[in-house]
Structure formats: C-alpha cells, structure tokens
Amino acid sequence: MNEIIEQDCREILRRVDVKKAKNKKILITGANGFLGQYIVSLFSFANKEIGLDCKINAVSLSAPNKIISSLMSRDKNINYSRVDISKTFKREVYDYIFHAAGYGQPAKFVDEPLSLVKINVDATASLLESSPKATFVFFSSAEIYGEIPPEKIPVREDFNGNCFLHTSRSVYAEAKRLGEALCAAYKRKYGVNAKIVRISHVYGPGLPLDDKRVMSEFIRKASVEKGIKLLDEGKAVKTYGYIADVIAMILFVAFEGKDMVYNVGGKDSHSILGLAKKIAKYFKIKVEVPKDSSQLSHIGKEPSVVKLDLTKIKREMKKLKLTQFSEGLIRTIEWTVGGSN
C-alpha cells in the first residue's frame, strides 16, 4: 500500500471503531473510483492490522486500478468483479453495502445521463431489495441542494434544495435525490438500515492525474503543461474535504450514526481561482483567466457557493478531526506527481 494512503488508513482507524464489520460480508460499488478505492483500502488495512477478517466484494465497471490491484495481491479477502450495475446484475446478500458507484466528474455525468440515472435509481432499488437486513450507505451529493440561498449557508440537512431542472447538470442532482427517496422509502416500509451521506468536493491522494475534476485538472496542467488556464473567471466557491476525513465520517455514519442523513465534507472554502493560485504557487507557475468563459456544457452551471453545515456529524463523532487544507493539498500533489499514478 502506498505510504501516504497507509498513513490515512491508520488515522481513520484512530477515529472510527470498525469492529462491527468483523467477519462480515461487505459490498463496495464503484470500487475503482476515488471514494470506493479508499473504502476498500481501509477495510483491507483493517484486515491486516486488527484482524477484521471481513470479506470485501469490490465491484466496478472497469478493470482494477493500481491501488486495488496492489491490495488484491496481499489480501485474499478481496474479491473484485467487473460489473455494469446500470444493467441487470447478479445480486447477493451482504451485511454492509457502500453504494459509491456513479459519475463524480461533471464532464462525465453530463455526457452519461441515462447510465447515471440507472446507477443511482435502478441499482439502488435492486441493492436495497437484495439485502434488506444490511446497513446500506448511499453516496449522495451536495449537488442535491442546488443553488443555496445566502441565508442558508452553511446548508443543513433539512434544506430541501433549490435545483434547476433543465440545466445540463440537473440530471445528476435529481438522480441523487431519487436515490435518497428510495432509501427513505425502503427504510419506512421494510425497516432497511439505510444511511445517506451528502458529500461535497473531496480531494486527496488517489485522484488520478487524468481525472476531470478541478483539483486534478489544475495539478495536471501545473505539472505537465507548466501553466493553469481557467475555463471561466473561477468565481464559484467550493468547500473541500480531505479524503481521509470524509471516509472516516462515512464509516462513522455506517457504524454509529443515529440519523439517516448526514452532510460530510470539509471546512475550508476556496474559489476556483483561489485554488488555482494555491496550486500554481506550489509549482511556481502562473494562472491565466480567460476573457470569455468556455462553452463546455458543464462549465458555469454549478452552484455559486457550496458550504455544508457539519454540526450533526460533529455532535455525534467525538473523534472527528479535519485536516488543514494546506497539509491535505501538499499530500495530494505529492501523491499525484510522485509516481503513484
């Protein structure tokens, strides 16, 4: 396991008691993705370090990436399957399901709307039906809040959202909202232990250099192209959460959460331009702001400010610790450009 990711896994185990997963059968969809691979890494690390001996079924559309392949070489408890869960797939019974599959990159979810809906709606219903006694964790998104009114920032879990229905990005938010509605329905009708985590702008080691999210794009441009050219003025403000902090919160919700819906994320807010400048400073390069915005369908359509209220998770998770953005950014850059890709 990569040294940086191993350090993160060790820190997560200090914050969250995962012993409820001992000898349990766990499904992780989207296991090849940014969040999914960290969940697999954490449980595999726990198998080795504390004898958790859980069975990990990792499912993804593509072949296992470098991180997953490395884990599989030393942990016989990992079973990896290439499955398109947007279509009919073989269902098994699990103790814990982490439904992390989907398109987290705006450029992808704009281009794959039908698959996106099927993954978040059809596959969600199928998984809820197949393991009604499992703890089911649905990976939702801060996108479901839409354009948040200034007086609602930071936004709490009880805000029902202000989403525009017919923009290029709307299908993502609405698919997540319907996935959440299904979780609530199965919880009411069948007593399923469904949990929903609304995730916002996660960054950290494990993001591949060719990922189209803004963090990876800027690091790639800085390290490869030796300059960062924005696609618009970069005024949108995001709040970034370090991957280890977010995974710790997700696992806490799965094992200890008293409620169904939780915001999970970070506390450090930066504009897109501000983020570009921080990365440019590390690489000692310049940032170029265009006179006219890009015409790409996913540019300029996102909410202007996204900041989550983390009061609920902070109140319950006494060992919650949030990584300073400056530290997390350096760890991300070092992993990304240090050959770990």
Q: How far, rounded to the nearest angstrom, does the alpha carbon of residue 70 sit from its chain's CA centroid?
A: 21
The verdict on residue 274 lying in a domain is no
| Contact present, 242 and 206 (Cβ < 8 Å) | no
Distance CA 337, CA 217 (A): 12
Position 215 in a domain: no
160 in any annotated domain: yes
Report if residue 105 sits inside a domain.
Answer: yes
Q: Where are the alpha helices (DSSP H) in the chain?
A: 3-15, 34-50, 66-72, 106-111, 113-117, 123-130, 170-190, 214-220, 243-256, 272-283, 311-316, 325-337
Over pLDDT 90: what percentage of the chain? Answer: 80
CATH code: domain of residue 260: 3.40.50.720
Range of the domain at 149: 3-203+240-267+306-323
Residue of 60, 102, 103 lying closest to 82 (CA atoms): 60
Mean pLDDT rounded to a whole number for the chain: 92
Threshold 0.75, pTM exceeds = yes
- pLDDT per residue as tens digits for the range 18-66: 999 999 999 999 999 999 999 999 999 999 999 999 999 999 999 999 9
Domain count, the chain: 1
Helix (H, G, I), strand (E, B) or coil at 45: helix
119-135 pLDDT, tens digit each: 999 999 999 999 999 99
SS3 state of residue 231 = coil
pLDDT of residue 298 exceeding 50: no
Q: Which residues pair with residue 78 across a beta bridge?
A: 56
Summarised one tens digit per residue, pLDDT across range 87-117 is 988 889 999 999 999 876 666 667 788 889 9
279 assigned to some structural domain: no
